[in-house]
Amino acid sequence: MSSEANLRELTVVAMSGGVDSSTVAAMLHESGAPIVGLTMQLWNQRRFPELSPGEAPRQRCCSLDDVYDARRVAEHIGIPHYVVNFERRFEETVVRPFVQDYLAGRTPIPCALCNNHVKFDQLLVTARQIGASRIATGHYARIERNAHTGRYSLLRASDLSKDQSYFLFGLTQEQLAHASFPLGNLSKQAVREMARRARLPVAEKPESQEICFVPSGNYTNFIDAYRRETSERSRADKDDSEGKRAEEEDREQGPAAEKDCDESGELVSTSGQVVGMHSGIQNFTVGQRRGLRIAAPRPLYVLQIDAHARRVTVGEEKELWRDSLETRDVNWIAWPGLDEPLEATVKIRYRHEPAPARIEPADLATVRVHFHTPQRAITPGQAAVFYRGDEVLGGGWIR
């Protein structure tokens, strides 16, 4: 598609209120492209005020202040701006799975789920409803069209220190075809300078550091509060007779009812010896060292979490290293599917250096990864993303 045609297309800029998406809006507006700024309202920041009483707000994305900042930027550069409410969608596809994963002994990546199910799914639907054909975001990644296959390729950003392709592995060909990442060839420093030259109100705004829906960054407290609220809401939805019957049962059961909700379990060694107790598996992730509260001659780490048995296996650092993993729900970008073994590099968490591995198909949506050398703390719930050079071949969720 020619650049002239692109200039005529109405583009939605996903404006989060940060410097990156704000600079994208300024860049596209200066180029003459018709654009509309949309800011997603994803989470009610007033929920669970008890989780951060008296604390100054920490820098989190998608807050009410971010919505205000996005509006200020849109007014400054002179483009239309609207706020769209995706709270229900966000809770269903991001927040609830986040809680469920921790309770199942997995460590989730909510940002990747948000990209898959909200930013490049629901937002694209909204964009089309207002006549736009493309979505531009402030992600540091690149998209190219493969002239030989006709497929869209997802590539790492030129500035590898800011690359976000790991969080975008779940994007489909349809989504990539209508997405644009204008910052993919720029460094963060260059983006800051562009924001300053454009006199954007957020030019000096710090980057977000926290998950947007978790106050104070305490996952455990959030999970407890969310489950408590969900339980109370479920009880409130029952009719009066059921509610009275439940109250009578609670009084009759007394302490036994509380015991049924006991989530404590054992901390065990690799030999099965009980070395301690815990209050809930949601407090742990593979590779964790702190918070175990075990007296031992050597540092101990979480090796495995068994949700069904409520058992957490701990061991020495050397026991964290593994040479294989299996992924589920694999999304392939470079081709429709994998028919034969493949040599690639694999990234098992955001800050992990991609490691050489052999990838073997197990079924349509599952692959087995065999690393050439063992990797540390392979964690269920995280993503395994497959690369060939800078190209993202695909990725899936670690079992």
Question: What amino acid positions are annotated as catalytic residues?
Answer: 114, 212
Angle at 177 between CA 174 and CA 181, to 5 degrees: 125
Exposed, middle or buried by CB within 10 Å (0-12, 13-18, 19+), for 46?
exposed
Short-list 296, 6, 97, 367, CA closest to 357: 367
Q: What is the Cα–Cα distance from 212 to 293, expressed in whole angstroms?
A: 29
Instruction: Please state, in angstroms and rounded to a whole number, the distance separating the CA atoms of residues 383 and 109.
Output: 8
- Phi first, then psi, for residue 373 (nearest 5°) are -135, 150
Which of 349, 356, 351, 353 is closest to 395 using CA atoms? 349
Q: Is 217 left (phi over 0), alpha (psi -120 to 50) or beta?
A: left
Closest by Cα among 285, 284, 393 to 347:
393
Q: Which residue has the tokens 């799975």?
A: 97
Query: Pairing relation of β-strands 265-268 and 311-315?
Result: parallel
For tokens 């964290």, the residue is 320
